[in-house]
Structure 1
Amino acid sequence: MKRIMMKTVLKIIFVGCCMLLTLHANEKVYKLKMATTWGPTLSPLIDAANNMAKMAEELSNGQLQIRIDTANKHKSPLGILDMVKGGQYDMGHSASYYWKGKDINTLPFTSMPFGLTSPEQYAWFYHGGGLELMQKVYNKHHVYSFPGGSTGVQMGGWFRKEIKTLTDLQGLKMRIPGFAGEIMARLGVQVTNIAPGELYTALETNSIDALEWVGPSMDITMGFHKIAPFYYTGWHEPASEMHFIINQKVYKKLPKHLQDILVASMRLAAYDMYIQNYDMNASAWEMMKKEYPNIMVKTFPKPIMDAMKKANEELIIEMTQDNALLKEVLDSQKAYQKKVRVWTQMSDYLYLKDNL
């Protein structure tokens, strides 16, 4: 009797396994293409895209597969939105302020000068209405946008000469994107935006006099310090967030469980990039101080900082006068910053102040 029961159980298990294998074999595999602004070696930015794709494939048991084309392949590092919007690619990984010329409303979702820090901005995205506002802005482009990894506070840039007064900024040719570029232009700087892979050449050939990139972990490997040794502390991008975007039609065609897996993978990859970059910056800063003593770390003088803040306030008023959606986004960030900054001061600021 026991032998008969055992045979029956084994048969049931065998049939069940066959059914599961058959079901798995019949599951549709969804293959997506993603374009990035970054080259194949630009860590940690490209790592966020690679890690997201890997997690999505593993969590879906191979049902969701994402091929990544870096800027070296598609040759359009600043054209990610257009390619995803137009259906050339299903997804993209970039920074939304790169297309401020096409839609100024996308700009605040990367970072705003004197604005939210990375922890504050993540809280705004996920608990303060930021994510909903981002979808509202991107809806006209027929894509969904999600946080894609933060660089934290970015450094203020590399300069050939020390910036002592506002006069030193007059006519200066500088690569600096986003709202900060608008501020610097207001102060007399000739502002341009250049793709990451072209930055060193632009500096080396005197096409620009100064540039802002990210922070020590990515800046040192680019070699900017060899030409422009004055390295300024940050003010303009306190929470620079990259973004994953996906074509709405593509997203809607995915089964619900794959949509959930994709969103979860993007969220985890974004936070992982933030902490990875934090570690990389700490290591690079330690190395920089030892191996490159010629680098002169500076902070912009108070009169320059005051002028930047004044220009920032003026520009926000001007740009939101006839743009209700941009005003809605910036008002939301401002209100959330007023609320959350009190806790940031009570926690992070006072802790550091008392223990440095």
Structure 2
Amino acid sequence: MQRRHFLKNTLKTAGLGAAGIAAAPFVATAKAQETITWNMVTSWPTNFPALGTGANDFAARIERLSAGRMRVQVHGAGEMVPPLEVFDAVAAGTAEMGHSASYYWRGKAAAAQFFTAVPFGMNTTETNAWLYHGGGQELWDEVYAKHNLKPFPVGNTGTQMAGWFKKEINSLDDMQGLKLRLPGLAGEAMNRIGVTTVNMPGSEIFTSMQTGVLDAADWVGPYNDLAFGLHQVADYYYTSAWNEPSAILEGTVNLDAWNELPDDLKAVVTEAARASNLAMISEFAFRNAQALDTLVDEHGVELRSFPDDVMAALHEASQTVIQEQVDNDADSAKVYESYMAFQQLVRRFTDVGEFAYLKARAQVGA
């Protein structure tokens, strides 16, 4: 009797085991095909040209490259979180992804500023080379890991303009006491030469200029500045591109969410970021050219360059601000050492290549 009971239980268990083994491939396949849905919060108005649409492009590439296994819902500034709270929201897991600019987070991670723009620093091609080949991405990963984030370059505006001014700047004296919207290291440098700078979302610039809260404002370049109508609140557009010779747009991923992704989807996000980065650079080159013609030819915008004494003062102030940050923050020191070493490496060829060609083209009027 005991023997028959034992055999019955053994056969029953074996049968269940066989069923479980047979079902295992199906369960694994079903799990592999499970759709992952993430939220992305941004610092830009929904569908804002290049910046907002760049976030959309990043999300769409992730879905296409993953064959629908991964979907990202994009939320414009203020829809889930305020525009300047993207960093905290993604770090905390309120959203799995963010799209913004790293110099907004200088109060949280001082070294983050180097991953948007460095005054008098590298241009866009040089910056991408540093990130992809010169150790920049690895340093960015190291800095952001302390805040539970995984960063990527997901766009670049290229060389930005120096900003819109209500009055013409003829000397350093004309800068004294101006109220200017300008974030990052460049904003700190402006403070050192007598300007009062503030950081605010792009959506607030027009009204602040119109009501006199601001005397001047940096935003991006012709394409985005035209979209906000900044030519309606200031006559002078300064082309002295000292502040953001390159301006990276960052994509951030909550590090816990990132670590849970299978390797193939990590590769999807990485390649989607790279493709979106390069796509935005091309779009800005085209759209800025069109928008500049519109601003000058149709709206009569006055293009100006800062006088020599202003540029000299800004260069000196930039070096002082950067050195103070490097002296007081170990992460900044490590990142800036890498950044400057790479700039010195690539500058020689940039000068004899791109810069020499642009001078030659200007000389012959081609």
> CA shift at 1:336, angstroms?
0.7
> CA shift at 1:125, angstroms?
0.2
Select the residue among 328, 333, 337 that pairs with 2:334: 328
Question: Closer, same or farther in 2 for the Cα pair 1:39/1:24, shift >3 Å?
Answer: same
Map of 2:287 onto structure 1: 280
Map of 2:3 onto structure 1: none
State how far apart, in whole Å, the 2-side matches of 1:23 and 1:77 are.
39
Q: Provide, for residues 63-119 of structure 1, a one-character-per-residue CA deviation record: whole Å limited to 9, x for no partner.
A: 001111111412410110000011100000000001112221111000100000000
Select the residue among 264, 272, 281 that pairs with 1:257: 264
Q: Which amino acid aligns with 1:190?
A: T
What secondary structure sits across from 1:208 in the alignment?
coil
Map of 2:110 onto structure 1: 104
Q: Which amino acid aligns with 1:92?
A: G
State how far apart, in whole Å, the 2-side matches of 1:24 and 1:348 are.
52
Q: Which amino acid aligns with 2:313?
A: A
State how far apart, in whole Å, the 1-side matches of 2:59 and 2:120 are.
33
State how far apart, in whole Å, the 1-side matches of 2:235 and 2:349 are.
36
**TM-score for the superposition, normalised by structure 2:** 0.89
Q: Which amino acid aligns with 2:275?
A: L
> CA shift at 1:139, angstroms?
1.2
State how far apart, in whole Å, the 1-side matches of 2:221 and 2:56 are.
21
Q: Provide, for residues 259-282 of structure 1, a one-character-per-residue CA deviation record: whole Å limited to 9, x for no partner.
A: 101111111011101111111001
- Structural mapping, 1:202-351, within 5 Å: 202-233=208-239, 234-293=241-300, 295-351=301-357
> CA shift at 1:25, angstroms?
8.7
Higher alpha-carbon Rg: 2
- Structural mapping, 1:44-193, within 5 Å: 44-193=50-199
> Gaps spanning 5+ residues in structure 1: where?
1-18
Map of 1:10 onto structure 2: none
Contact 1:94 1:243 in 2 (8 A): yes
> CA shift at 1:38, angstroms?
0.6
Say how many residue pairs are matched: 336
- Aligned-pair identity in percent equals 37
Contact 1:158 1:229 in 2 (8 A): yes
State how far apart, in whole Å, the 2-side matches of 1:311 and 1:287 are.
34
Select the residue among 179, 195, 204 that pairs with 1:198: 204
**TM-score for the superposition, normalised by structure 1:** 0.91
Residue range with higher mean Cα deviation, 26-35 or 77-86: 26-35
Contact 1:116 1:239 in 2 (8 A): yes
Contact 1:40 1:72 in 2 (8 A): no
Q: Which amino acid aligns with 1:223?
A: G
> CA shift at 1:26, angstroms?
6.4
Q: Which amino acid aligns with 2:330?
A: A
What secondary structure sits across from 1:55 in the alignment?
helix
Q: Which amino acid aligns with 1:306?
A: A
Contact 2:185 2:322 in 1 (8 A): no
> CA shift at 1:23, angstroms?
4.2
Contact 1:151 1:274 in 2 (8 A): yes
> CA shift at 1:24, angstroms?
6.5
Q: Which amino acid aligns with 2:114?
A: P
State how far apart, in whole Å, the 2-side matches of 1:34 and 1:96 are.
16
Q: Provide, for residues 20-51 of structure 1, a one-character-per-residue CA deviation record: whole Å limited to 9, x for no partner.
A: 9x947961111111101011131101122111
Contact 1:159 1:209 in 2 (8 A): yes
State how far apart, in whole Å, the 1-side matches of 2:32 and 2:183 are.
47
What secondary structure sits across from 1:239 in the alignment?
coil
Contact 2:41 2:81 in 1 (8 A): no
Q: Which amino acid aligns with 1:230?
A: Y
> CA shift at 1:348, angstroms?
1.0
Root mean square deviation of aligned Cα: 1.5
> CA shift at 1:288, angstroms?
2.1
